[in-house]
Structure 1
Amino acid sequence: MTSKRGARSPVAVTGMGAVTALGWDVSSSWKGVLEGAHPARPVDLFETEGCRCRSAAQAAIPPIPSLTSKETRRLPRASRFAIPAAWEALAQADLLISNGRAKLPHTPLCLATTGGGMEFGERFLAEILAGRKGHLRWVGRYQPEQQALDLQRCFELCGHSVVIANSCSSGADALGYAAQLIWSGEAACVLAGGFEALTETVFVGFDSLRILTTERCAPFDRGRSGLLLGEGAGFLVLESLEHALSRRTRPFCLLTGYGQATDLCHLTQPSPDGGALCQAMESALAQAKLSSEAVGYLNAHGTGTALNDEAEARAYSRFFGAGWQTPRMSSTKATIGHALGAAGAIEAVFSVLALSTGRLPPQWNSPDPLPEVEQALARPLEAPRPLDHTMSVNVGFGGSNAALLFSRYD
């Protein structure tokens, strides 16, 4: 894509924010990822009696300084994760005025989720089934566009907003779409990210598929027993490099490539050969005019389920070559759980941090790895190393595959 002036503008990452089961901000979440924190705890948001699995990476809700306690209580849980994460990203990019208003009110929003404010819809249905009159406001706040409105009202934003619900690749797709707005010259600055809250419908649905683990999540391990559901939010401020430098803001890095492909194999199972995942990675690298050898760290999707990890391992072996050791790779879902629509955005934050610090998130809980990825898995206590490019990939239900490429800014 080209800008209105005819040349594609580099996309800079100038701010990041995150809320996970490991903490209320980027630094605490990153610390937990590096140290191998175990986030699973019994779910207390709804009844799990009768479920095979009864735990998840449930997050604590951060405070929202610009809202009263009454205003905060009216927000769906998803918004109560999204607003603090977006706040941190905007503040880090120096785009917040002291009272919480955004400095650039026309900033577009590119958001990702799979459940939105689903717990309000569940509450409404429960009231009706119990013979009571449910509040209609619960139905309205069930819609994912409501969380976009909550963000716009909190920061007094009036730009257009897009909500992407493309299963587990949604977060990466939202960032990719935001980058395309900047590459095309349609926007100079975009707030992009994903948010997700645990809900009974989603939890019980995954449990009925028998893909939730009752043990530790062990991505790419031969003994893996399933995924750990998580929740939270991740946001990045993306700007054209010219716009960022005009504000005297130094970028963390550049987002240089985005690829997306669909394998059309199965509603819930990835294609066994990983062909579409390879295509997404190839597309991201082609945009940056780089080869696979340039990638120093790969944040893999790695859910810890039997079919996903096998397909991913085959795809990486095919893409990077048999016995590959570079890039080093890991799945951070072992420490934060699988945050569904927010996963791609949160994991993009970790990929940027790996690039800027040289520290590799270790692959925790996988003592007996699959042979296709064994040599490449990052391990605890690995020394920091200089990285020029990192990649984050996501694989979702319906055959959705997405890849983001981040490059050092010097």
Structure 2
Amino acid sequence: MFDSLKERLEGIFSKLRSKGRLTEEDISDALREVRRALLEADVNYKIAKDLVERIKDRCLGQEVLSSIMPAQQVYAVVYEELCNLMGGKRERLNFAPKPPSIFTLVGLQGSGKTTTAVKLALRISDSHKPMVVACDLRRPAAVKQLKVLAEKAGVPFFGPEEAGSNNVLDVAKRALTYADSRLIDVIIFDTAGRLHVDDDLMSELERMHKLLNPQEVLLVVDAMTGQEGVNVAQAFQEKAGITGVILTKLDGDARGGAALAVKAATGVPIKLVGVGEHLEDLEEFDAARMAQRILGMGDMEGLLEKIQKSSDVEEIERVQKSLKDDKFTLEDLLVQLRQIQKLGPLDKVMDMLPLPGKVKSQVSDVDFRRIKHVEAIILSMTPEERKRPEIIKGSRKRRIASGSGTNVQMVNQVLRQYQQMKEIFKRFGKGKGKLRGLKIPKGLF
């Protein structure tokens, strides 16, 4: 996410910090580079120019130039202005005071509306009873796709009675009646998209909105489209009166122009962002946290939320008790590996930590398949072997290697690294934080 922009900004601020005291020329040169970095991130030229001008006006004031740490002051100004550019405060979904709340998802074909409808339903299912409705009756297999995803997420689904039906208003009316009889309090309508904004699409949306009077008209935009995504948002805002934006595929966008510019260009807030392929990968958009990640400050709040969401409390407590009792087993190691995998790709987790770019880049050298190999090796052991790995000798190692699709060398490596980890936990348990003479195990992941 924002990879190239982060790298450019990190280099710019690194140069500023190396200068100590700054001159007006130093700041002007740095901000010229910031503007170039924004343009390379596919931010609209006028928006990038206006942003840099605001930053420059603030940075050339006496507050920065006379500061003891001017580079840090510039950094803080850039952070604040990025937050303001992306909307500042967090914008949450609007729910009707009296149920049901009606949300319609609109956008171009291929933007990810159907998947996002289910992701949204799943996200709010803890506090609401949502239902998704298939009103994209033009795209082949759109109804079936929504139904399959809804079943996978455990979310109620409603669609046309007959295959090939194209009466969208009839489906919408029956969905309202169906929801009322089953105490559904949020109805999410997946509407048809086009390859471009056209009168036919807008006419259909207008008729639907007249019938439904939705609380939210959410435009789903593919973040990979960059500045074109902003143009799409402007067109829908003019013709359909959108109330919020959901950016999809933000995890795969190295530039980030749409995320940076859509609020400034349309006045419509980004409310949610898709950050992965799984149905759980939909997050509330927070301008401050996004600005922190763009500037390499990490996102500890987001990481803690991810950990809490994916963690199995009972399993963690059991492992903690094992560590406290000095009984860390291979079964406990297996639990930890599974917890790590639930967090998602480790490079994305590292991206949320406030670490220098060089440190984060080392994650790219990690072979993430190793985790699966280690898991397979432990799963190929008997319960007794996991509790007492010292009994694993030659013939057992060969059986484990065969059962896990690995080799004896890898089995030996896992056992050796497990012993090292056990020793680390043992020493920490005794308060020996320095761990002299002990090497942290490498190669496990």
Q: Same fold per TM (> 0.5)?
A: no
Q: Which has the larger radius of gyration?
A: 2
Relative contact order, higher structure (CA 8 A, sep 6+)? 1
Larger relative helix fraction = 2
Larger relative strand fraction = 1
Q: TM class, shorter-chain normalised?
A: under 0.3
TM-score (norm 2): 0.22
